[in-house]
Every structure is written in structure tokens, then in C-alpha cells.
Amino acid sequence: MVEIKNLVKNYGNKNAVDDISFTIQEGEIVGFLGPNGAGKSTTMNIITGYLSATSGTVTVLGKDIFKEPMAVKKQIGFLPEQPPLYVDMTVLEYLSFVFDLKGCDFNKREHLNEVMEKVKILDVKDRLIRNLSKGYRQRVGIAQAIIGNPKFIIFDEPTVGLDPVQIIEIRNLIRSLGKKHTVILSTHILSEVQAICDRVIIINEGKLIANEKTADLNRVVGQSAKMKIKVAGPNREVLNMLRTLQGILRVESDGIREGDTYSYLLETNPAIDVRKIIFNALASHSWPMMGMESVEAELEDVFVRLIQSTQGKER
């Protein structure tokens, strides 16, 4: 449905997007993952026709964005990083403006009501956007994107700056939109992708480094697990003892101390459940375990692992 081929974008000498190709099938929710400055926004801006590419093609539903921009733009709903809101308008006025702007040809009042109900902003429809909270503004931004029922919706970092409750609401909203629309979602938060997306495209420094089903990504991510434990006992001896245990790849003390309790960061082999091993070993020394938690893989870890694994394949 969306096909991107050899996309390149240079800003002067800087290579913001470097030969990226991928396709997106109808009905997919695709996560676009990368650290800040990786080229996510640039790629999205090119797909939406806001920027032009240095070379390469973007085809949406068989139409080239550079050759038939009007036809393609009609099929795309876009929520940029900063929602494009006119704060001097009320929500209803703003959405009605977007409706006219997109030249939609169905019943305006019905459609706007439907959209506002979907993103749950009916209660604020007569308020000035200026006076809305960040979470509501984000929803108005989403409403704007889905007006006109575009086949394809692009969200650029939709949960940045929201509080945890709002994040969950927005994620649920995006997931429900994914049932009817094809969605691209950019983020730098790994767990967000794992929570919402069917597939993940990872880019770093303008290059595509992974294009995997989310489940497959979890396998890559899961190649080694991290956990944090707290033990009451002599720091150095505990450290040395932990290093001898089976299934533990790396141990370091992270320097946090409460009384005689120290905490340690462990990297373990995911094939072995080390929890019992650790517990028994500590028990045999009568060093009480004060806490144990698993640490989620960070985006950086995934990058390191992905880059390592692709280099491994090349060899």
C-alpha cells in the first residue's frame, strides 16, 4: 500500500535519510523507531509531501507523492510532532476548517461528531484550543489527522510530553484506529512499539537497520535479559560470588546503597532461569535478597544488538 524506495534526503552535506526502502501493507500498524535525530521526522515529512526528497520514490496506493501530490495527500492523515493547531479557534471551528481544507464530501456535522466521539473530545468541542491541556490538544491533533477517513495515517511521536494516563489512552486510541486504517507511528520508546505495533522499522543515523515483525524483534531484544537485584551483604564478596554463577554474563554494582544493602545490575542468559540459582546461592551464604526486578531492554541495547547481529551476518 505504501512503498518507499531508495529514499535519500540531504540537508546540505548532512545525510538525514540515507537510502531507505520499505513497504507497508494495508491494515498494518508500523512502528518507526529510532533515537532523536535519526531521520524519522524527515522520512515522515517526505511521505506526507511536506518535504521533497533528494532522490528515491514514495508511492501511496500506487500514486507517486512527487508526481501526484494532491491525490496522495487526500489519502494521508498526518499528525506532526507538534500538532498543527490554531489556538485562537474552538475545537469545533478548527475541525470544521480542516474538513473544508481537505475538501471532504460527506455530511460535515455527522462526520465531525463521529471523529470527536472517536477521540473523546466532544466535551470540549466549544472551548478554545488555547485553553486545552496537552493531552486534549494531542487528541484534537489526532482528530485533525483522521478527518476525511484517510486510508493511511501518520503519527509523529504522538505520546511525547503526555502523562502516563494520557499515554495509555492515546496508545489505545491508535490501536483502535489501526483496525480501520493503516498506521505509521514514530517513536523513540521501544515499549511503545512493542505495545502497539505489528511491525517495527528501526532507523539510525538515516539508515534502516531493522524491519521486523514485533514478535521477531522481541526475540532479538530477548537475547540477553537484564535484571536488578538488591542484596544485604558485603559488597565485594557478593559481587565475586555472583560472577561465578551459571547463566550470569555480567555483573556490576550500580553504586546504590541503603544501609548494608547494595544493588547490582546483572546481564543474564535468557535461556536459563537464573532466579532460583541466585536465590539459592545467596541463601547458602545467608545474604538476604532484598529485591529483584527485571530491567526492560532500552532502545540503545537493541541498537547495539541489532548492529552487532547485522555485522555478524555480513561476516
- The verdict on 51 binding other proteins (CB under 8 A) reads yes
Helix runs in the chain, H state only: 40-47, 69-75, 91-101, 108-118, 134-146, 164-177, 190-196, 214-221, 235-244, 274-284, 299-314
Tell me if 84 sits within 8 A of 144, measured CB to CB: yes
Piece of the chain touching other proteins by CB under 8 A; list 20-28, 78-86, 158-166, 248-256: 78-86
- The verdict on 133 binding other proteins (CB under 8 A) reads no
Piece of the chain touching other proteins by CB under 8 A; list 82-90, 183-191, 241-249, 262-270: 82-90
- The verdict on 50 binding other proteins (CB under 8 A) reads yes
Total number of residues that touch other proteins (CB under 8 A):
29
User: How many CB atoms are closer than 10 A to CB 72?
Assistant: 23
Piece of the chain touching other proteins by CB under 8 A; list 19-27, 95-103, 205-213, 268-276: 95-103
- The verdict on 49 binding other proteins (CB under 8 A) reads yes
Beta bridge partners of 30: 184, 199
Tell me if 190 sits within 8 A of 33, measured CB to CB: yes
CA proximity to 137, closest of 126, 150, 124: 124
Q: Which of 11, 161, 285, 293 binds other proteins (CB under 8 A)?
A: 11
Tell me if 189 sits within 8 A of 170, measured CB to CB: no
| Sign of the torsion formed by the C-alpha atoms of 39, 66, 95 and 117 | negative
- The verdict on 82 binding other proteins (CB under 8 A) reads yes
- The verdict on 62 binding other proteins (CB under 8 A) reads no
- The verdict on 87 binding other proteins (CB under 8 A) reads yes
**Identity of the residue, 101 or 271, whose beta carbon is nearer to other proteins in the bound complex:** 101
**Identity of the residue, 78 or 262, whose beta carbon is nearer to other proteins in the bound complex:** 78
As measured in angstroms, the least distance from the Cβ of 153 to other proteins is 12
- The verdict on 152 binding other proteins (CB under 8 A) reads no
Q: Which of 74, 111, 137, 226 binds other proteins (CB under 8 A)?
A: 74
Q: Which of 37, 62, 84, 291 binds other proteins (CB under 8 A)?
A: 84
Tell me if 40 sits within 8 A of 208, measured CB to CB: no
- The verdict on 32 binding other proteins (CB under 8 A) reads no
Q: What percentage of the chain's residues is helix, strand, coil (to nearest 5)?
A: 40, 30, 30
Q: Which of 27, 35, 80, 234 binds other proteins (CB under 8 A)?
A: 80
Burial label for 283, CB within 10 Å (0-12, 13-18, 19+), is exposed
- The verdict on 43 binding other proteins (CB under 8 A) reads no
CA proximity to 170, closest of 198, 200, 138, 147: 138
Separation between Cα atoms, residue 210 and residue 207, nearest integer Å? 9
Nearest-5° Cα angle at 124, 122 to 129: 125
- The verdict on 85 binding other proteins (CB under 8 A) reads yes
Query: Which residues sit at the interface with other proteins, rule CB under 8 A?
Result: 11, 45, 48-52, 70-71, 73-74, 76, 78, 80, 82, 84-89, 93, 97-98, 100-103, 144
